[in-house]
Amino acid sequence: MAERPNNPERLLALYYVRIFTEVELDSALLEAIRDAILEDAQMFCWWVVSFESRKDAFIIMLATPPLTCFDDIMDTITEDVEESLKKKFPNLKQVLMPGHFVRYLGFYPAKEVEKDLPFGQLSQTEKRRYNVYVFSWGTISGPVLTGSVAQRLKQEIDAQARTYGWEVLRLSISPEFVSVIMAIPLFVEPHRVMKKVLWKSEEALKTDFPELFSEKPPWKHTAYYVEAWGVVSPKELEEYKRLSQSS
């Protein structure tokens, strides 16, 4: 069996975001915009790596958990910034943010992104929240998920969770069925998580157990099922983990 690292680094996706405005940004407006974005970042598990202004735009370097739906992030930032400014500057009539430009810069180790965070941000905060989901799928190849195959599948799911910042609360593997209760940061789409898990799991099994794919019928997973259990804070997440480990 091929050796793989036991402790893969957790990754964050880094984005360059330029948000255009139709008003001249004085210091009071910029401070209000920055505060609104930082509040969202603290709430939803993003990191503002840098924030700077231009005459007609402000520029953010933003780090998010991988597989995050960035369109949803931009919608949230736009709505929350404009709502905040309307409260603080009721006479502001112009359209503040008519458009934006986003460039994806790649994955970076979380420890590097979090090392020197500006604006007093923390790598962990009680305000951050997670969605808890049950992911389930099976195999149409018979009872093959046993012994070393089941162990390898568990290792791969755990490795994916560590890399992408998910929390596996409970993982159950039977000969023909897999069920995992997992907490993932808000704005990370569960179906993208599931596709990543299935793809990487199949890659791992194909490498270590090629005979599963040469048999008739070859190994193949069924359609998957996702059920949302709700939103939890980090404190509630720790309680979930404690209860899962004790049961």
Confidence of residue 68 (pLDDT cuts 50, 70, 90): confident
Q: What is the pLDDT of residues 22-63, one digit of tens each?
A: 777 788 888 888 888 988 887 777 889 899 888 778 899 999
> Which of 113, 146, 171 corresponds to the end of one domain?
113
Structure confidence at residue 136 (pLDDT)? 94
Calculate mean pLDDT across residues 66-88: 84
> Which of 113, 147, 174 corresponds to the end of one domain?
113
Confidence of residue 3 (pLDDT cuts 50, 70, 90): very low
pTM over 0.75: no
Residue 63 lies in a domain: yes
Residue 3 lies in a domain: no
> Which of 113, 142, 162 corresponds to the end of one domain?
113
3-state percent breakdown (helix, strand, coil) of the chain, nearest 5 = 40, 30, 30
Residue 119 lies in a domain: no
Q: What total number of domains does the chain contain?
A: 2
Residue 75 lies in a domain: yes
Structure confidence at residue 126 (pLDDT)? 45
Q: How far is it, in rounded angstroms, from Cα 223 to Cα 140? A: 10
Q: How distant, in Å, are the alpha carbons of 20, 67, 70, 81, 234 from that of 64?
A: 21, 9, 9, 18, 17
Going by C-alpha positions, the residue among 97, 20, 81, 10 that lies closest to residue 45 is 10
Identify the CATH number of the domain in which residue 103 sits: 3.30.70.1290
Q: How far is it, in rounded angstroms, from Cα 130 to Cα 125? A: 12
Q: What is the token pair recorded at 122?
A: 């923390």
Residues 79, 18 within the same domain = yes
Residues 141, 84 within the same domain = no
Check if the beta carbon of residue 110 is closer than 8 Å to that of residue 65: no
Residues 107, 135 within the same domain = no
The neighbouring-strand residues paired with 48 are: 62
Residues 63, 159 within the same domain = no
Residues 152, 83 within the same domain = no
Domain of 230?
Answer: 130-246
Residues 160, 222 within the same domain = yes
Residues 195, 151 within the same domain = yes
Residue 1 lies in a domain: no
